[in-house]
Amino acid sequence: MAARQRSRAAGRQRISDFPAQTHTRSSYRGRYFDWPLWLAWIAATTGGWALAEIVFLVLFDTFAIVAWLRGDPGIGVFVAVLQAFVLRRRLTQPGWWIVAGGVGGVLGSLASTYVNATVFAAFGVHGVFVATLLLTALGVGILLGTLQWLVLRRQVSRAAWWVPATCLGMVAGTVLGGFVAGVALSVVSDGLGQEPGLTTINIATGFVGATLHAAITGSALIRLLQSPAPIADDALPTLR
């Protein structure tokens, strides 16, 4: 009997040697790279862009309409809905991700339109490249990334890294996406002996750009989700 009591006491002592786990909001654990999540994130981002372009193309029967109406606001909502679906088991309030994506898309697009007009007035057609960088980095990247950071900061530690990751994804998707799509279309047009139309250029540029943006932000998101933040008292209100 005495030996059994000593064995139980030793077992309790071994258990008490382990540090207590901190309860966190996120159930996501591990230091490996989550390839399924990364691919799902790319599919959601690219699919949201494609769905938005199809809807606006059917509604307006053209790509040549006001940029803020055709582009970022609509794309932001569609992309945010699909991204929230992917993150539904990793965020406690995925509905706020949709709000952040929609509002960020509208504000970013309006800011981009203003910056584009300002740069064009100052530099003319030669300022288009500079305007592109300012549009993505200042207009969409910073505003969208900041609003999404407000959601992530209660879920993960070091959430502030999401803002520069979003800006990098926007710049890479816009500049490199346009370059890669242009090279690909040039090769195809040389082979077919026919110049691509405006619709083809828009679709190719948007697809490549959305894929690059999703690859960069998806990598950052996976790393952030591996460092969940402790529960805070000032939680976001529930969206039903």
- Tens of pLDDT along 155-196? 898 999 999 999 999 888 877 877 777 777 777 777 777 777
31 band by pLDDT with thresholds 50, 70 and 90: low
What is the average per-residue pLDDT within 26-47? 82
Whole-number pLDDT of residue 208:
86
- Give the residue with greater pLDDT, 129 vs 8: 129
Answer whether 238's CB lies under 8 Å from 198's CB.
no
Q: What's the CA gap between 70 and 84, in Å, rounded? A: 22
pLDDT digits (tens, 9 = 90+) for 41-81: 999 999 988 887 777 777 766 543 344 444 456 678 889 99
What is the average per-residue pLDDT within 108-131? 69
Closest by CA position to 170, among listed 210, 204, 205, 218:
210
**Residue 233 CB partners (closer than 8 Å, separation 6+):** none
109 band by pLDDT with thresholds 50, 70 and 90: confident
Whole-number pLDDT of residue 65:
38
What is the average per-residue pLDDT within 214-219? 96
Whole-number pLDDT of residue 70:
42
Residue 3 in this model has a pLDDT that exceeds 70: no
Q: What's the CA gap between 216 and 35, in Å, rounded? A: 13
Amino acid at 189: S
Of 71-85, 87-101, 126-140, least confident by mean pLDDT is 126-140
Q: Which of 25-34, 54-63, 95-104, 138-147 ranks highest by mean pLDDT?
A: 95-104
Amino acid at 129: F
Average of per-residue pLDDT values in the chain: 75
